Each structure stands twice: as structure tokens, then as C-alpha cells.
Amino acid sequence: MLRIQRYTISVFVGDESGMINRIAGVFSRRGYNIESLAVGLNRDKALFTIVVSGTDRVLQQVMKQLYKLVNVRKVEDLSKKPRVERELMLLKVNVPAAQRTEVLGLVDIFRARVVDVAEDSLTLEVTGDAGKLASLERRMTKFGIKELARTGKISLLRDKSEEVVAPPILPQATSVSSLTKVSDLEKRASEKVVTDIPMTSSSAEGDVYAVESDDEGVWSHQVLDPDWGDVEAAEPNGYMSHTLSMVVNDAPGVLNRVTGVFARRGYNIQSLAVGLSERQGISRITTVVPGTDESIRKLLHQLSKLIDVVQVQDITHLPFAQRELMLIKISALPSARRDILDIANVFRAKTVDLSNRSITLELTGDLEKMAALQHLLEPYGILEVARTGRLALVRDSGVDSKLLGQLQPLQASY
């Protein structure tokens, strides 16, 4: 009897227009409903973490089809391997003044953070596994959940604690060749990366993208770079990044249809987060795409015509709270561990895994915060990076952080 299971798949690709649509299409054509999708994007690379349910046999066929796509470098099933998993959720809750103390107590218990305060609501940020997020959501239901945005799951494999490594050689920070014995690396180069799937990658350790001397172009640094090139400020022609929030029915093929609209019109998606919403059977898609106000207006009109699209909104010009989640694994010998933890403490990053050879950190924040941390950790040797897309909820408080940051301080006159 065939057994239905839940699988976590990691796909590392060269980023190009339409890639998200092609990957979603592989699942859609086989009737798979993607339960969660997290995409970490660069100008030239992307790391997908996809959660689907199905049989093992069909999953292997899907993985083979994914590998046949142009620019797909690596496909791997992480489901049966020891790994660190995290999700991010933004939760807007109705909180009258009389109940605020009780809610803040729950916030402390679940180690959540308040990101926006209005007269009658609080917006919370929380990270963790699916069980933790679901538990907090249930506790907040009695107060009334106004909006909920959730990313897909991201995963990094745990290192074996007994693995022996040599000190990293600077400045090749992203190279793993200096972190393992030469004989081991040569052995890995000839091994298969994905079970039952012929691959050409030289890494056999999950999402560790080894840097080889003969690699060229996009694969010269197989770690997601800290500078992924958002067009935040409007250019003279009005071209800028727009944050779109879509509410869709949770049905097979809906992501394929949505991303197909972007692909057919040549839009390059800069960020994508797909997850559950506050209503059962409804999902929320948050995406960032560059364009002018007029071109985005036309795009929204096309998206609103799609089957299963309930609502679509451009929140770029509204005050909104935004967050992303990153897991980053750094080479950390005992001599460098204290320095790495000091840097992590400054950025309020959490240590989620520790081995003889590495430290894995969890960080939430905006693009600039994550890029700054990654830049500072590069000299120690970055082994893996996994990121979600951007989550965004409109601020009920009306406070526009971006606008306030652009204002000049008032000069005191005496």
C-alpha cells in the first residue's frame, strides 16, 4: 500500500525570469499542492525550500523532472536527514487595552516580538517550527486575529559533531575546501548528491555549496550573496520595488497560475513568500517585483482576473511592517566561536545549532540587517545560507518607518 508522507525538498538554481513558474509548474502538472514555499533570491541564484505531501515513488519522479529544468544545479530531499527547520509568522491581533497585559505575557512565553502597536491591535513577529507557530495562533484566536502572514519552511542540515576540520583560509570565506580534509573533498566530488538522481554537484552535504577552482559565472560562489539587489528607492523614471500582498484559495496550481502572469510579462520576482493565512483554506502570497506604478497597476488587474485569487493589493505606498528570516551556517572553530557569538548578539541573532565545525544562526529583520550580518561573518567562512521571502502587513498604527528615516532632525533654537 502506498504511503502518503510530507516531504521537504531543497532546490538550488541559477535565478532567471520565469524560473519560479517553471518549478511550480512541475508540481502543478502532477497534481501536487505545494503546502509551503520559501525562496531566497539573488541576482543570479535562488534557493527553494518546498514542502509537499505524496508518495515516495512519485516524489522521486518529480525530483528528476526538476533536475531537467535549465539552470537547476541541485535537488535534494531533506525529509529523512537531521536538520534545523524554521518558519516566520507575522500576526495582527485585536487587543483592547484591558487585555494587552495578557497578550504581552503570551508574547514573552513564545519568545515573540511586537513590531507594531496601534490603539486596538498589536502586530507580532514569531519564528520557530510549525508546532510553535500553530500553538501561538490558537492562543491568539480568542482575542481575534485580523491578519496573518506566514512564510514557508526553510531548512539547513545539522553538522555531525564528530567531524574534524582544519582552520579556514582567508579571504576565501565561502569556500568549504579549506574546512575539510583534502581526501574527503576529493571523495565527495565523485559521489552523487541526490539519492536516486544523477547530479553534477560536488557537494554531498545537504545545502553546502562548495566553491571549486574551475567553476565559472553564477557558480563561482555557491552561497546566496548578501547583496541581492532590491531596487528600493524610486529611479528618475519611477522604477522601484513594489511589495504585493495576495490572498488566494489553497488549491493545486494556484501558485503556477500566479507566477505565470509574472513570467509571461517578463517581471523578475525579487522576493516570494507563500504560506497560510488567518482563514482556513486560504493562503497569502507576498511578493516583491520591480516596476513603475502604472505597470504594477496593470499587473494587479491581470492577477485579479485569475481563478482562486481572492484579493491582490500593492502596499508599497502604505506604512507596513516587513520581516524576513535567514538561517546561516558559519565555520566556527573554538578559537573563533566567541567572536562569532559576539557579532550574533549585536544583531540579536539566535544560535540554533552548534557542532565542532560550525555554528548555525537564526536572524529576522529587513534586507539591510541580514546583509550587514552576512558581510561581517564572511571572513570566518559561510557554509550555507537559507532565506525566506519578505512578509509584510500594513501597520494599523500608521507609522511609516521608511518616511521617518528620511526626515531631517529638527534643529533646536535657543
Q: Report the sign of the C-alpha dihedral through residues 306, 310, 315, 321, in that order.
A: negative
Q: How far apart (Å, rounded) are the C-alpha atoms in residues 176 and 220?
A: 13
Give me the pLDDT at residue 165, please: 46
Alpha-carbon span 309 to 74, nearest angstrom = 32
pLDDT in tens, 31-46: 777 777 888 776 667 8
379 Cβ partners below 8 Å, 6+ apart? Answer: 170, 171, 173
Taking only the tens place, the pLDDT of each residue in 76-99 is: 888 888 989 999 999 999 998 889
Q: Are 249 and 281 in contact (CB under 8 A)?
A: yes
> Is the distance from CB of 117 to CB of 397 less than 8 angstroms?
yes
216 Ramachandran zone, left/alpha/beta (phi>0; psi -120 to 50):
beta
For residue 242, the model assigns a pLDDT of: 92
Q: What does the pLDDT look like over 171-209, one tens digit per residue?
A: 433 333 333 333 343 343 334 334 444 444 333 333 333
pLDDT confidence tier of residue 233, bands split at 50, 70 and 90: low
Residue 140's nearest CA partner among 97, 90, 103, 87 is 103
**Domains (range + CATH), the chain:** 1-81 (3.30.70.260), 83-158+321-393 (3.30.70.1150), 227-320 (3.30.70.260)
8 Å CB contact between 155 and 10 = yes
The pLDDT > 70 percentage for the chain reads 77
CB atoms within 10 A of CB 323: 24
158-162, 270-274, 388-392: which has the minimum mean pLDDT?
158-162
Tell which wins on pLDDT, 58 or 381: 381
Cα 322 from Cα 305, distance rounded (Å) = 27
Q: How many angstroms separate the CA atoms of 200 and 212, rounded?
A: 13
Task: Out of 198-207, 209-218, 345-354, give the one with best mean pLDDT.
Answer: 345-354
pTM, entire model:
0.77
Q: Estimate to the nearest angstrom the gap between the alpha carbon of 102 and the chain centroid.
A: 31
Q: Are 7 and 79 in contact (CB under 8 A)?
A: yes
Phi-psi region of 56 (alpha: psi -120 to 50; beta: other; left: phi over 0): alpha
Closest CA to 38 of 86, 100, 105, 93: 86
pLDDT of residue 186: 36
Q: If you count them, how many residues does the chain have?
A: 414
Candidates 37, 55, 46; CA nearest to 1 is 55
d(CA 318, CA 46): 28
Helices marked H in 150-309 — which ranges?
A: 182-189, 254-264, 293-304
Sign of CA dihedral 202, 41, 113, 363: positive
Q: Crossing angle for the helix pair 334-346 and 367-377, nearest 10 degrees?
A: 160
Res. 145: pLDDT tops 90: yes
Phi and psi, residue 351, nearest 5°:
-85, 120
Helical H segments across 215-292, by residue range: 254-264
Sole residue written with cell 547583496? 227
Coil vs helix vs strand at 131: helix
Q: What is the DSSP letter of 196?
A: T
CB 286 within 8 A of CB 244: yes
